[in-house]
Amino acid sequence: MTTSENLKFSPGQIKVVSRAVAAAEDLVSDYYKLSATQMRQLNYDIKTAADLGAHETVIEHFAQIVRYSARKPDSLLSTGVEDFYKICLQDHSILSEVRRHPEIELYPFLLYIICHELIHVVRFRRFQQRFSVPDEQRRAEEIRVHGITHEILAPRQIAGMQPVFEFYENWRKAGAL
Ligand SMILES: [Zn+2]
């Protein structure tokens, strides 16, 4: 492992992650008009490096979604779905990108990333997108999801979001993952 792979969010940064998760969940459920029950039925978890196994860690992305075929073990609620999605935030990639781009702050960057991943989950659950698709379809889906992320966040006047939009501008066009 290189040093950058070992980068993990500090306790202070984990608080920023929690704030971004709460805000992203509000924004996405608001956009799709999901009730609390419908949000629970999405059946996902958002985890950072501290809670990721080796196979859940990737070098080149800020996050990845891993689908498991059982309900999450600590869930007391029957959600009616048998699989769950683990949104695996890649601390090392996020932190090194923030270091490379001093204009990008952690909170708005995380908010963008988490909104983006939640939109994927909603679209998987609604069968608007299958989990495994060929690269070409995946690229088209990425363009769509970056577009929706922008549509959700742009009207909100979130401090520090503009540099994040600029960072992702080409991704919205080219569909990088
Ligand atoms: Zn994506």
What residues does each domain of the chain span? 4-174
Q: What are the backbone dihedrals phi and psi of residue 70, each rounded to the nearest 5 degrees, phi first?
A: -115, 165
Residue 161 neighbours by CB distance under 10 Å: 20
**pLDDT at residue 12 greater than cutoff 60:** yes
**Do residues 107 and 16 lie in contact, with contact meaning Cβ atoms separated by under 8 Å?**
yes
**Do residues 114 and 84 lie in contact, with contact meaning Cβ atoms separated by under 8 Å?**
no
- Give me the pLDDT at residue 78, please: 58
- Give me the pLDDT at residue 170, please: 78
C-alpha 142 to ligand 1 mean position (Å): 5
The band of 133, judged by pLDDT with boundaries at 50, 70 and 90, is: confident
- Give me the pLDDT at residue 1, please: 45
Lowest-confidence region among 49-53, 69-73, 152-156, 171-175:
69-73
Report, as an integer, the average pLDDT of 52-74: 85
C-alpha 90 to ligand 1 mean position (Å): 13
**pLDDT at residue 11 greater than cutoff 60:** yes
C-alpha 170 to ligand 1 mean position (Å): 14
On average, the pLDDT of the chain sits at 90
What distances in angstroms separate CA 38 from CA 33, 109, 125, one per listed residue?
A: 9, 26, 10
As given in the structure block, the two tokens for residue 3 are 């040093």
C-alpha 77 to ligand 1 mean position (Å): 28
C-alpha 137 to ligand 1 mean position (Å): 12
- Give me the pLDDT at residue 16, please: 98
CA-closest candidate to residue 107, choices 160, 148, 51:
160
- Give me the pLDDT at residue 79, please: 57
- Give me the pLDDT at residue 26, please: 97
Report, as an integer, the average pLDDT of 34-48: 95
As given in the structure block, the two tokens for residue 120 are 């994927």
Sign of the torsion angle spanned by Cα atoms 33, 46, 76, 12: negative
C-alpha 82 to ligand 1 mean position (Å): 23
Lowest-confidence region among 60-69, 73-82, 97-106:
73-82
C-alpha 52 to ligand 1 mean position (Å): 19
**Do residues 154 and 61 lie in contact, with contact meaning Cβ atoms separated by under 8 Å?**
no
C-alpha 103 to ligand 1 mean position (Å): 22
What is the spatial distance between Cα 149 and Cα 147, in angstroms, rounded to a whole number? 5
- Give me the pLDDT at residue 175, please: 62
- Give me the pLDDT at residue 86, please: 96
**pLDDT at residue 3 greater than cutoff 80:** no
C-alpha 133 to ligand 1 mean position (Å): 13
- Give me the pLDDT at residue 75, please: 60
What is the spatial distance between Cα 10 and Cα 137, in angstroms, rounded to a whole number? 36
Strands 63-68 and 44-47: unpaired
**Do residues 28 and 115 lie in contact, with contact meaning Cβ atoms separated by under 8 Å?**
yes
**Residues with Cβ within 5 Å of ion ligand 1?**
142
